[in-house]
Structure formats: C-alpha cells, structure tokens
Structure 1
Amino acid sequence: MFVIFGAAGNVGRASAAALREAGRPVRAVVRDSAQAGPLARLGCEIAVADLCEPVSVARALDGAQAVQMLCPVPRSGSLPAQAMRHMIDVAASALQMNPPPRIVALSDYGAELRGGTGITELFHELESSLAPLGTRLTLLRSAEHMHNWARVMPVALATGILPSLHEPLDKRFPCVAAQDVGRLAAELLSDTFNATASADPRVVSMEGPERVSALDVARVLSDVSGHEVVARTVPREHRAAMLGRAGLSEQHVRLICDLYDAHNAGRIDVEAGVGQWRRGTTTLAQAFAALVPRVAAAMSRQ
C-alpha cells in the first residue's frame, strides 16, 4: 500500500493520480472526509487522519509499503510554528515506530540551513526529525510552488498591480509546478533506491524548466488573463500589515517575512553538490493557464 498524507493538496493529489495510473494501491490520507470524493474516484482507499493525533496517524500507516509525508504550515491559528512542530513530532514518532521500506518527505529549497529562514526553518526541523530513518528516507526539496501566486491573483486581476515580496523585481528565482513535484514524488516512492555507501537519507531537489522574476510573473499573468498586470515590490516595512490584512497571525507574518528576507539575500536555493537535481516540465505559462480561470471564476462569484 502506498500511503499519501496531504492527498487532497496539489502535490498529494498529483502523486495519488500518478500511482493509480501505474496500477499501485493508494491510501489517500485526508483530514476531512469531505475532501475524499476526487481521490475515491481515482480508486484510492480513503483514510481520515489528523497529523496532530498519533492514533489516527498510526492507523493510516498500517501496512504501508511506501509513505509520502507532508507536514504543512497551518494557515489558521495564532501559533503555526508550534502547530507544525507538533505535527513533525507525531509523524516522526509514528514512522520510527513502524518504518515502511520507503518514505518520501516533502521539503523545501534551503531546508539544509539551520536558522534565519522563516517557514523554511520548519522544514529543516522536519528533515532533522526524520533523519534517523536513514536510507529508508528520501528528502524531496522543491523550489517555490508556482500555484502560490494564486493567493495574490485576485488583487492583481482587479487592480492591475501584482504585489511581490521578491526583490529586486528582475531577480530570477527558482519555482516549480506542484503537479511536477507530485509526479516525481510518486516516482521516488516506486523505485528501489538503496544507498549502500551511506546511511544518510537521499536528497532530491526539484525546480521548473526555467527560473523567473517577478517581472516575468506579471508578464505571464498579463498574457494568460488578457489584462495588463505590472509587478510592484511591497516595501519591507509594509509587508507585515499587508499579510495581516490577509488574515494571517503575527507569528505567521513573521515567518513569511523572514523567509523572503532570506530569499532576497540569496540564501534560499538548491544545496550545491548534494544529492540529485531534477527539472520539472511545466512552464509558468502552463501553470497559470490552469490557475487563472479558477481564480477568475471565484472572483465572479463574490
């Protein structure tokens, strides 16, 4: 059984679909049974589990041949870092008590860094907690996901201004489509990798076919939507207020601001000379071609 945590998300859903297409048995783990419909139609077995509840996690892992683990940063609540650390502790404990032959943990570019990286620092903690699993474990570090721009698309389409935390606007940064990460994760879950030279986990890093800048993002959004959009940097001193108006807690705002400080200082990138490096095939234009109609439809319903 291939067990996919976070199966209702963009990456997990792509992994589940790829594994089912290959004829693999999949247990799709979701937090809410309302998320199960599309996964059940793929032929997945459904498990409802909460990463904060050890008993439900252990039940979901029962009989697993391979596990894809995702510990997300919660968007609700005032203490997202503490909540994610608790999920990491629960997941690491469950996997160490009953380790399957293969585990793929979804992580981030920059997760090798010990501090000062905001949200990415939490993925460093994830990697450190799972490291004792050794050669059973693959750390799949991905660049910034293209679909994250959907969060500011309504503002950009309504005002013609794309707010960017990346600066300068012409600085190129790595990004990747979530579906490419999901398909690669499915491939890594299915292989029979066995590191004989080292007891350390395998590291695989992934980004898209080309690096882009905030200027590129605005240009592609203009082309796909048919509306002129220009990129504008959100000044550092205004970012906390903007993110707070989006409903994020003070701690979550600080995590995001610290992350982009690290990005803009050039600290967040693929770890040179470590593990494998793979490119996805989905371009930013292709990703936005799928995203923009959904965003526009949601805006029309408001």
Structure 2
Amino acid sequence: MFVIFGAAGNVGKVSAAALRRAGCNVRAVVRDKQQGAFLAGLGCEIVVADLLDAATVARAIEGAHAVQLLCPLPNGHADPAQPMRRMIDVSVAALRADPPPRIVALSDYGAEHAAGTGITTLFHELETQLRTVDSQLTFLRAAEHMHNWARVLPVALASGALPSLHHPLSKRFPTVAAQDVGVLAAELLLDNGAQPVSPRVVSIESDERVSALDVARTIGELAGRAVVAREVPRGEWAALLQGAGLGEHHARLITDLYDAHNAGRIDVEADISERRFGATALGEVFAALLPRAAAVAAAAPAAGTAR
C-alpha cells in the first residue's frame, strides 16, 4: 500500500495518479471526503486524516509499504509555524511507532540550513526529525513552485505590474512545476533499487532558471498585454504582506525566506543532492492558471500578494 499525504494537492494528486497507472494500491489521505472524489475515481482508497491528530495519522499509515509525506504550512493561521511544527511532531511520532519500509518527504531547497530561511527552516525541522525514523528516507527538495505565482497573477493582470520580492529583478532563480515534483515523487516511491545512503537527498527544478523579468514577460505574452516586473522595496515587504491579510508572524516567515533567496542561500545543496530536472515550462503552468486569475482580477483588481 502506497500512502499519499496531501493527496488532493497539486503534487499529491499527480503522485497518486502515477502510482495508480503503475498498478499500485494507493491510500489517498485528505482533509475531508469532498477532496477525495477525483482520487476515488482513480481507484484510490480514501482516508480522512488530520496531521494534528495522532490517532488519524496512525490509522492512515497502517500497513503502508511506502509513505509520501507532506506537512503543509497552514496559511490561514496567525502564526503558521506553530501548527506546522505540531504536524511534524505528530506525523514523525506516528512513523516512528509504525515505520514503513520507505518514506519520501516533500521538502524545499535550502532545507539544509538550520536557521535564517523563514518558511524553509520548518522543512529543516521536518528532515531533522525524520532522521529518527527507522525507514529508508528520501528527502525530495523542490525549488520554488511555479504555482505560487498564482497569488499575484490577478495583480499583474489588473495593473500591468508584477510585484516581486526577488531582488534584483534580473536574478535568475530555480523554480519547478508541481506536476514534475509529483511525477518524480512517485518514481522515488517505486524505486526498489539499493539505497546505500539514508537519507537520500534528491533535488528538482525546471531545466531553465528564470528571473522576475521572465515571469512578467511570460504573463504578458499569455495575456496579450504589457506586464512589467516591479521590485518591491525591502522596507515595504512587511506592510505589503500584512496588507494582503497575512499575520505578522506569517509575514516574517516570508520576508526571512526572500532575504535568504536574495542572498543566494535557497539553492541546491552542493555535493549532496541528486539533481533532477522537470520539463514543464513556466508558460504551460501560467496558461492553466490565467483564466481564474483573470476572473479574480476583474472582480477585485487590487487583490494579491507579492512574490
């Protein structure tokens, strides 16, 4: 049995579908039954679990041959680091008590750093705790997800300006499509070859790095209008993020992350990672996101959060 946490998400549903195509039994772990409709149609067993509830996590992993673990940042929480740390504690305790032969944990570029990387520090904590589980571990560290730009697409479409926390605008950074992460995660779960090193660290990014200028140009080409990238001054980050509805603690996680990004700390860990590259281009992802973003822009032109 292959157990996929976050199976209704952009990565999880791709992993689940790939495993089902390979003829595997898949247990899709979701937050509520409604999220499981698509996955049930693929032939997945649907299990509702709460990563803050030890009993439901334990039931979800029972009898698992392999587990794909995702501990998501709870975006609606005033201080999202607190519940995410609790999710890590609960899920690792369950895995330690009933360890499956193989675990693939979804992590981030920069997770090797113990401090100073904002949100990514939480993935360092996840990796550190998972090292105590008696399983073959793989940390799948992904670059910044292209889908994250969906939050500012309405702003770019409405105003013709793309706010960016990536400085300078010409700096090229690694990014990746969620579907490429999902496919690779499934491949790693299915990999029955010898794994002499645990944890195994695998990185994935697109085969071409991009800049904020490239992102703005891609949006403009798809939308048929001029879109320019705008570098948000560092002193305005916190106010911008809090004005978009984020709490002070959440905003700090993001500002710390982009300080680390702009300092070059969010990248492949040299000489450690097995490097993989996704084939999905930025334009393919944005083309799928654009219709909804256009509708949001028409309804609320000022909505959005900088990247």
TM-score when scaled to structure 1? 0.96
Residue 246 of structure 2 is aligned to residue 248 of structure 1: yes
Match for 1:73: what amino acid? L
3-state SS in 1 of match to 2:132: helix
Shift in Å at residue 245 of structure 1?
1.8
Partners of 2:173 and 2:142 in 1: CA distance:
12
Residue 64 of structure 2 is aligned to residue 76 of structure 1: no
Cα displacement string for residues 61-100 of structure 1 (whole angstroms, at most 9, x for unaligned residues)? 1111110000011101222111100000001111111111
- 2:272 matched residue in structure 1: 274
Q: Kindly indicate whether the alpha-carbon contact (under 8 Å) linking 1:133 and 1:201 is maintained by their aligned counterparts in 2.
A: no
Shift in Å at residue 132 of structure 1?
2.1
Shift in Å at residue 193 of structure 1?
3.6
Shift in Å at residue 300 of structure 1?
5.0
Match for 1:241: what amino acid? A
Q: How does 1:119-134 map to 2 (within 5 A)?
A: 119-133=119-133
Shift in Å at residue 195 of structure 1?
2.6
Q: Kindly indicate whether the alpha-carbon contact (under 8 Å) linking 2:118 and 2:256 is maintained by their aligned counterparts in 1.
A: yes
Partners of 2:235 and 2:146 in 1: CA distance:
25
Identity %: 65
Name which of structure 1's ranges 33-42 and 68-77 shifts more when overlaid on structure 2.
33-42
Give runs of ≥4 in structure 1 deviating > 3 Å: 297-302
- 1:96 matched residue in structure 2: 96
- 1:208 matched residue in structure 2: 206
3-state SS in 2 of match to 1:290: helix
Corresponding residue to 2:233 among 209, 224, 235: 235
Residue 173 of structure 2 is aligned to residue 173 of structure 1: yes
Partners of 2:194 and 2:151 in 1: CA distance:
39
Q: How does 1:35-50 map to 2 (within 5 A)?
A: 35-50=35-50
Partners of 1:299 and 1:16 in 2: CA distance:
32
Shift in Å at residue 297 of structure 1?
3.8
Q: CA RMSD in A?
A: 1.3
Count of paired positions: 300
Match for 2:224: what amino acid? G
Partners of 1:8 and 1:227 in 2: CA distance:
33
Shift in Å at residue 301 of structure 1?
6.3
3-state SS in 2 of match to 1:185: helix
Q: How does 1:189-228 map to 2 (within 5 A)?
A: 189-196=189-196, 198=197, 200-228=198-226
3-state SS in 1 of match to 2:115: coil
Shift in Å at residue 298 of structure 1?
4.4
Cα displacement string for residues 131-185 of structure 1 (whole angstroms, at most 9, x for unaligned residues)? 1236511000000000000000011100001000100000000000000000000
Shift in Å at residue 5 of structure 1?
0.3
Partners of 1:297 and 1:8 in 2: CA distance:
23
Q: Any stretches of 5+ residues in structure 1 without a counterpart?
A: none
3-state SS in 2 of match to 1:36: helix
Partners of 1:32 and 1:255 in 2: CA distance:
28
Q: Kindly indicate whether the alpha-carbon contact (under 8 Å) linking 1:135 and 1:202 is maintained by their aligned counterparts in 2.
A: no
Partners of 1:135 and 1:122 in 2: CA distance:
21
Q: Any stretches of 5+ residues in structure 2 without a counterpart?
A: 301-307
- 2:260 matched residue in structure 1: 262
Match for 2:34: what amino acid? A
Partners of 1:54 and 1:266 in 2: CA distance:
37
Match for 2:9: what amino acid? G
Q: Kindly indicate whether the alpha-carbon contact (under 8 Å) linking 1:135 and 1:194 is maintained by their aligned counterparts in 2.
A: no
3-state SS in 2 of match to 1:52: coil
Partners of 2:211 and 2:168 in 1: CA distance:
9
Shift in Å at residue 112 of structure 1?
0.3
Partners of 1:242 and 1:289 in 2: CA distance:
27
- 1:138 matched residue in structure 2: 138
Partners of 1:95 and 1:135 in 2: CA distance:
9
- 1:20 matched residue in structure 2: 20
Q: Kindly indicate whether the alpha-carbon contact (under 8 Å) linking 1:203 and 1:274 is maintained by their aligned counterparts in 2.
A: yes
